[in-house]
């Protein structure tokens, strides 16, 4: 039969293992959250650049059309 002291030691070990696991989980969650924020920032920058390129392409096309029409 195990003594109260042995049970207490097992409980302390289990509690320590649980706390270590919770800390690691928290740290991983923080890293995941930071990675998602960086991805969102990169996506928004990419969207802004693509949008800017699209606007530039439209303006070039309109400019070409105006140039061709003005030559007629």
Cα 2 to Cα 9: distance, rounded to the nearest angstrom: 11
Q: Looking at the chain, how many residues does it have?
A: 72
pLDDT at position 1 over 70: no
Q: How many CA atoms lie within 13 A of 41 on its CB side?
A: 6
The secondary structure of the chain in percent helix, strand, coil, rounded to multiples of 5, reads: 95, 0, 5
Q: To which residue do tokens 């928004």 refer?
A: 44
Q: How many CA atoms lie within 13 A of 12 on its CB side?
A: 6
Question: pLDDT of 22-59, one tens digit each?
Answer: 999 999 999 999 999 998 888 887 777 777 777 788 77
Question: pLDDT of 4-15, one tens digit each?
Answer: 888 999 999 999
């Amino acid at each position: 039969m195990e003594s109260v002291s042995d049970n207490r030691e097992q409980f302390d070990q289990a509690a320590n293992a649980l706390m270590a696991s919770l800390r690691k989980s928290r740290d991983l969650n923080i890293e995941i959250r930071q990675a998602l924020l960086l991805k969102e920032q990169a996506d928004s920058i990419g969207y802004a650049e693509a949008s800017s390129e699209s606007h530039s392409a439209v303006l070039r096309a309109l400019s070409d059309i105006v140039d061709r029409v003005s030559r007629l």
